Amino acid sequence: MAEKKAKMIIDKDFSIASIDKRIYGSFIEHLGRAVYDGIYCPEHESANEFGFRTDIIELVKELNVPIIRYPGGNFVSNFYWEDSVGPVNERPKRLELAWRSLEENKVGLNEFAKWAKDANSEVMMAINLGTRGVSDACNLLEYCNHKSGTYYSDLRMKHGVKEPHRIKTWCLGNEMDGPWQIGHKTMKEYGRLAEETARAMKLIDPEIELVSCGSSSLQMPTFPKWESTTLEHTYEHVDYISLHQYYGNQENDAADFLAKSDDMDKFIRTVIATCDYVKAKKRGKKDINLSFDEWNVWYHSNAADDDITKNHPWQVAPPMLEDIYTFEDALLVGLMLITLIKHADRVKMACLAQLVNVIAPIMTDANGGGAWKQTIYYPFMHASKYGRGTALLPVINTPKHDTATHEDVTDIESVAVYNEEKEEVTIFAVNRNIHEDIQLVTDVRSFEGYRVAEHIVLENEDLKCANGFANEKVFPVSTSQSTLDQGTLNSLLHKASWNVIRLVK
């Protein structure tokens, strides 16, 4: 028994919302080795007839990713989609300005749509509103979604794709608030362009969903004025606004690093408040929901990336953004997943950025080698597998601590998911106290007749421990650290641990 204790109540009636499965989405950009030498490697022993690695497809299927954002990211803001379709040997090679690489266009729109289908996922398509605009967005939509009988739909059919892709979700550009973005816009410039693009696109296909660009991070100097200003233009025409956020531990302060999910919560709450302000101002009836379509830990590879872009540009698929994740990174990813689930009433989509090789849960050895699971693979897999159903808001009484830049940081962060159809309850919990175990006592009396199916733990004495090919040191194990008796669940949560406690009837 741990000296420290926390109490929690989980009840069927404490419902937040039904969880949209798309919060377990991901992201693949034409960046580094994400596409080439990642999902696509014709010379690999597992490659299928289209050149895609089937071992990677199986790892993606295990994550059960319902939607994947494509093709960027910063890449999209100078992307000419026409380069990526038609006969591969006729496609042009282009200087890719966002990451200063050479894009050969061997994998394009139709190939990626085929890959996504094989991976049991849908495509979230991003359009170029950096160097292009309304007409190009409309042409792309017509190519993808219109059945036949027009120039671009017939062009798709000429390219061997008879049936339309029927892509439902479209991002109106990427990080247009960022001065690093090709074609960076002011708030009013972007708001007007996004408004006119959205209006035209919905005339072509009224069934699509549109995501307006929000702020690139909580730290942007224009946040949250960017949201309020751009939504003044786009409110009537879009369905979501995006959020992007990455965290790092440059200070090597694990306790403060694990508190950064509190900043994510603040970010979400502020965006919701801003969306509701615009709704009230416009006397609107609909809520603008949130698409947190870029989130992760990202900082390990920054120096190497700067060297490549500055000193070794115009390579084909150079090794960029290849963060090797530690155990403490996995804990923060788990905390960020808990935060997303807690906001299931308004966060309807989210994309772990990215999926393969580039700040990713899945890595491949260079030049057609093997594949392996990074530490962050596991909390994402657990949430995607067991986090389907209704999010339940826990009532928690937990010890707290202060860190270098955060006050009143809860030792225990937790959320529960009730899958009524399967008669399962899953509690996700992180003990972010890096020094002390905590005994968590949970009142689950509203789930009469349930028993503990398993308690899965991800933990390691070394917070800096990482995985490698054929050398997996951080992986989940099943334990007997939870017992249930007469509606009281007793769980031992070790210091610095990710916990998945599953109850079944």
Pair of tokens at residue 177? 């608030």
**β-bridge pairing 412-419 and 390-392:** antiparallel
Report whether the peptide linkage leading into residue 354 is cis, meaning its omega lies within 30 degrees of zero: yes
Amino acid making up residue 401: H
* Selected catalytic residue, list 29, 82, 142, 175: 175
- Enclosing H/E stretch for 269: helix 261-281
**CA dist., res. 85 & res. 161, Å (int):** 10
Residue 189 phi, psi (nearest 5): -60, -45
Is 294 labeled as catalytic in the residue annotation? yes
| Burial class of residue 231 in the structure, from the number of CB atoms within 10 Å of its CB (0-12 exposed, 13-18 middle, 19+ buried) | buried
**DSSP collapsed to 3 states, 124-144:** EEECCCCCCCHHHHHHHHHHH
How many alpha carbons lie under 13 Å from residue 68 in its C-beta half-sphere?
30
The residue behind tokens 């309807």 is 348
* Contact between 26 and 355 (Cβ < 8 Å): yes
Beta-bridge mates of residue 356: 362
To the query of whether residue 104 is one of the catalytic residues in this protein, the response is no
Indicate which residue of 29, 122, 209, 294 is catalytic.
294
> In this structure, what token pair is assigned to residue 345?
């009433």
Backbone Cα Rg of the chain = 23
Cα–Cα distance for residue pair 311/306, rounded to 1 Å: 8
What residues act catalytically?
175, 294
